[in-house]
Chains A and B, each alone.
Chain A
Amino acid sequence: ELKVEQNPLFLSMQEGKNYTIYCNYSTTSDRLYWYRQDPGKSLESLFVLLSNGAVKQEGRLMASLDTKARLSTLHITAAVHDLSATYFCAERNQGGSEKLVFGKGTKLTVNP
């Protein structure tokens, strides 16, 4: 059974600080997704990581994938208030039904 675990589930940080969100997944999938959700809104795709060692960056966010450790990280650099949101990682099962299974999300609050 696909299982995706994120930690922490809640993260409160000050502007200007750095932090990392961790995502552990259960299978040998080499395809990992990160999404952002603002309160009351839909989910927005941030990154798609397609292979071991993949690293992608957009602004203050950088995502990486280690398929051997079954671990993806989302690193936040010099956080700003606008980054406050809930961040989800998701794994796509390959070879089976190819469904996308989400973690529980990390609610990030960036305080001034």
Chain B
Amino acid sequence: DAGVIQSPRHEVTEMGQEVTLRCKPISGHNSLFWYRQTMMRGLELLIYFNNNVPIDDSGMPEDRFSAKMPNASFSTLKIQPSEPRDSAVYFCASSPGQGPLHFGNGTRLTVT
């Protein structure tokens, strides 16, 4: 079991650029979550998928953020255009139904 795999691990970009974060959940897990972590706001749930369908995207900060899950083994979180306040660590997590979430190693995003 390779765990939840996120890429890239680090991303540094300039304001206004498009950023795409990627996630491969654990095989067999039917729920996928995107979280953002900052010192000021803690862990914030951005969006949650169940069986590849977005269930709750109320945490997506604004229209600049979008997420997709085209199949059970892949999800993306896109920010376009990026802004300095988007700088954070973005975690992807998956779970088998009601079981505990398994987190990836995160992507540290820095927008200058």
Which A residues are closer than 8 A to B by beta carbons? 31, 33, 41-45, 48, 88, 90, 92, 97-105
A-B pairs with the 4 shortest C-beta distances?
Answer: A97-B56, A45-B100, A102-B43, A43-B103
- Would you call A100 and B45 a contact (CB within 8 A)? yes
CB neighbours of A41 from chain B (8 A): 105
**B29-63 interface mask toward A, CB cutoff 8 Å, 1 = contact, 0 = none?**
00101010000001101001010000110000000
Beyond A41-B105, A43-B93, 13 extra complex contacts between A and B, CB < 8 Å: A42-B103, A44-B103, A45-B102, A48-B100, A97-B56, A98-B48, A98-B55, A99-B56, A100-B33, A100-B45, A103-B42, A105-B42, A105-B43
Which of A41, A48, A102 lies at the interface centre, i.e. has the most chain B CB atoms within 10 A of its CB? A102
- Would you call A98 and B100 a contact (CB within 8 A)? no
Complex CA gap A5/B49 in Å reads 25
For the residues of B in contact with A, the DSSP-based class is strand
- Would you call B106 and A48 a contact (CB within 8 A)? no
- Would you call B100 and A101 a contact (CB within 8 A)? no
B53 → A minimal CB distance (Å): 11
CB neighbours of A92 from chain B (8 A): 98
- Assuming the A-B contacts A42-B91, A48-B99, are A101 and B106 also in contact, with contact meaning beta carbons closer than 8 angstroms in the complex? no
A–B complex contacts, Cβ < 8 Å, 17 sampled: A31-B98, A33-B100, A41-B105, A45-B100, A45-B102, A48-B100, A88-B43, A92-B98, A97-B48, A97-B56, A98-B48, A98-B50, A99-B33, A99-B48, A100-B45, A104-B42, A105-B43
Which B residues are closer than 8 A to A by beta carbons? 31, 33, 35, 42-43, 45, 48, 50, 55-56, 91, 93, 98-106
A48 → B minimal CB distance (Å): 5
- Would you call A43 and B91 a contact (CB within 8 A)? yes
- Would you call B98 and A98 a contact (CB within 8 A)? yes
Which of B45, B99, B102, B106 lies at the interface centre, i.e. has the most chain A CB atoms within 10 A of its CB? B45
Identify which of A100, A104, A105 contacts B101 (C-beta below 8 A): A100
Complex CA gap A45/B56 in Å reads 23
